[in-house]
Structure 1
Amino acid sequence: MLQLPQDPNLTSPSGETALANAVAENHLEIARVLVEAGSCLHAGVGDCRSPPLSIAVNVPGGIAMVKFLLEAGASIDTRNAHGSTALALAAAHGCTEVVRLLLLEGARIDVTDNNGWTALTIASFRGHAEVVQVLLDFGSNVHYVNDAGTALTSASYAGHDAIVRLLLQHSAQVNDYTVYSASTKGHVNCVRLMLEAPSWRNAHSAFVRRSTCSMSLTRASRHGSADLVQVLLEERADIEVRIRDFTALMEASLYSRVDVVRVLLKAGADKDATDRDGTTALMLAAMTGHAEIVHMLLEAGAARNLVSKDGTTAMMEATSWGHIEVMDLLKPRKRKRDTLP
Structure 2
Amino acid sequence: MTGMQNHALPMDFFICKTGCSHFTGKSPHMNRIATHAFYDAVKKNNLDLAASLYKHCAPGMIDINATNALGMSPLHHAAEYGNRKMVKFLIDVGANLDARNMDEETPLNLCCHHETASIIVNVLKRRKELLEAAKMGNVTLAAKALADGGKINFPDPKGKTALHHAVHVRTSKTCTEQQRHNIVRFLLKNGANPNTITEEGTPLQTALGMNDIPMAGMLITAGADIHNANLHGTPTLFCAASIAAFELLVAKGADPYTHDSLRRGMLHRTAEKGSLPLMQHLMAKYGMQELLNTPDALGRTPLYLAAKNKQVETIRFLIAQPGILYVAADDGTTPAMTTNNKEVRALLKDMERAGAAPVLAPACKPPGF
Taking structure 1 as reference, are residues 136 and 195 closer, same or farther at Cα in structure 2, changes over 3 Å only?
farther
CA contact (8 A) 1:91 1:131 kept: yes
Q: Does 1:49 align with 2:159?
A: yes
* Mapping of residues 6-45 of structure 1, within 5 Å: 10-12=122-124, 16-45=127-156
CA contact (8 A) 2:274 2:311 kept: yes
Q: Does 1:143 align with 2:257?
A: yes
Name the CA distance, whole Å, in 2 between partners of 1:226 and 1:84: 31
Q: 1:190 aligns with which of 289, 309, 314?
A: 314
Name the CA distance, whole Å, in 2 between partners of 1:102 and 1:68: 12
List per-residue Cα deviations over 1:133-192 (Å, max 9, x = no partner). 433443433322224522321221232211212333442432241122213445354245
Q: Does 1:181 align with 2:296?
A: no
Cα displacement (A) at 1:91: 2.3
- Higher CA-based Rg: 1
CA contact (8 A) 1:186 1:223 kept: yes
Name the CA distance, whole Å, in 1 between partners of 2:138 and 2:253: 34
Cα displacement (A) at 1:25: 1.6
Q: 2:213 aligns with which of 85, 96, 120?
A: 96
Partner of 1:223: 341
> Which consecutive residues of structure 1, in runs of 5 or more, have no partner in the other structure?
1-5, 202-208, 244-341
Taking structure 1 as reference, are residues 87 and 9 closer, same or farther at Cα in structure 2, changes over 3 Å only?
farther
Name the CA distance, whole Å, in 1 between partners of 2:221 and 2:249: 11
Name the CA distance, whole Å, in 2 between partners of 1:186 and 1:135: 28
Taking structure 1 as reference, are residues 58 and 7 closer, same or farther at Cα in structure 2, changes over 3 Å only?
same
CA contact (8 A) 1:58 1:90 kept: yes
Q: Does 1:84 align with 2:201?
A: yes
Give SS of 1:91's match.
helix
Q: Does 1:114 align with 2:114?
A: no
Cα displacement (A) at 1:117: 0.8
Name the CA distance, whole Å, in 2 between partners of 1:139 and 1:191: 31
Name the CA distance, whole Å, in 2 between partners of 1:65 and 1:226: 44
Partner of 2:281: 166
CA contact (8 A) 1:10 1:17 kept: no
Give me the TM-score of the superposition, normalised by structure 1. Answer: 0.53
CA contact (8 A) 1:92 1:119 kept: no
Cα displacement (A) at 1:39: 2.5
Cα displacement (A) at 1:193: 4.3
Name the CA distance, whole Å, in 1 between partners of 2:336 and 2:309: 12
Name the CA distance, whole Å, in 1 between partners of 2:306 and 2:168: 29
* Number of equivalenced pairs: 219
Letter in 2 for 1:154: R
Give SS of 2:122's match.
coil
Give SS of 1:239's match.
helix
Name the CA distance, whole Å, in 2 between partners of 1:119 and 1:181: 20
Partner of 2:269: 154
